[in-house]
Amino acid sequence: MPNTNNLVETVTPPLFRTLITDDMQTVDRVIRTRLHSDVVLIRQIAEYIITSGGKRLRPVLTLLVSKACGYNGPHLHELAAMIEFIHTSTLLHDDVVDESGMRRGRETANALFGNAASVLVGDFLYTRAFQMMVDTDNMEIMRVMAEATNIIAEGEVLQLMNIGNTDISEQQYLQVIQSKTAKLFEAAARVGALIAGANTAHTRALADYGMYLGTAFQIIDDVLDYSGDAETIGKSTGDDRPKANPPCH
């Protein structure tokens, strides 16, 4: 059975992807350039996780929003790559916390290289992303991303606290997924609007769209975690289900 992470790429791509094909190729080149490090292990792990597939929805969102607002300037591809770096760093950390063994149809980085190396390379990608933000010399973008990464970390802790909590309410569940997942979608859209110089109302509306998109994405991902199979969805299932000996609430 095909890996659904790759299946989307084997059929006719949606129109929005054809509109940004060249831009995504440029983003990929930026990613490879910015992955460079004199430390061999960093290059190995970062290259492994970045090139392992995935739909790159978050950088796609940055590109589409920015172009919709009329911007195609020099910082666009750097910011899209920056968003992907932050996402990738959270994957490295998540797989360690969840003790995952498979993602995107391949072994996770922590399964191959160990937990310590995965966490530290995740930290490298986080800090490299902030270097890329600084290069835009846009304080508002830096403020948005600093807030977003902090909220994402809070969301991961909230999820950890609710392991084994079968009484979690809908409101509590939404708080977790909107913090740990949807916040980066929101930030990706907001950054695209900000670099384009969109007005406050348009920026807020596009950020809301990103939040709603990210929320829907995570709900589907959680459903698949319970009802899908690892071969089809390309990653370990059950990683977000209640585990033994959950932490105290």
Q: What CA–CA distance (Å, rounded) separates 3 from 5?
A: 5
Helix ranges (DSSP H) in the chain: 4-10, 15-19, 21-34, 40-50, 57-68, 76-98, 109-113, 115-135, 139-161, 170-177, 183-195, 200-227, 230-233
CA geometry: angle 211, 144, 109, nearest 5 deg: 75
Name the pTM for this structure.
0.83
Among residues of the chain, what percentage have pLDDT more than 70? 85
Q: Is residue 56 one of the residues assigned to a domain?
A: yes
Q: Is residue 240 one of the residues assigned to a domain?
A: no
pLDDT of res. 102? 79
Q: Is residue 132 one of the residues assigned to a domain?
A: yes
- What CATH number does residue 110 fall under? 1.10.600.10
Q: What CA–CA distance (Å, rounded) separates 93 from 187?
A: 19
Torsion angles phi and psi, residue 131, rounded to 5:
-60, -40
Q: Is residue 239 one of the residues assigned to a domain?
A: no
Q: Is residue 214 one of the residues assigned to a domain?
A: yes
Q: Is residue 205 one of the residues assigned to a domain?
A: yes
Domain enclosing residue 105, as ranges: 4-233
Torsion angles phi and psi, residue 106, rounded to 5:
-130, 165
Q: What CA–CA distance (Å, rounded) separates 86 from 6?
A: 21
Q: Is residue 248 one of the residues assigned to a domain?
A: no
pLDDT tens column, 150-204:
999 999 999 888 887 888 999 999 999 999 999 999 999 999 999 999 999 999 9
Residue where the block lists tokens 């059929």: 11
Structurally, the chain folds into a number of domains equal to 1
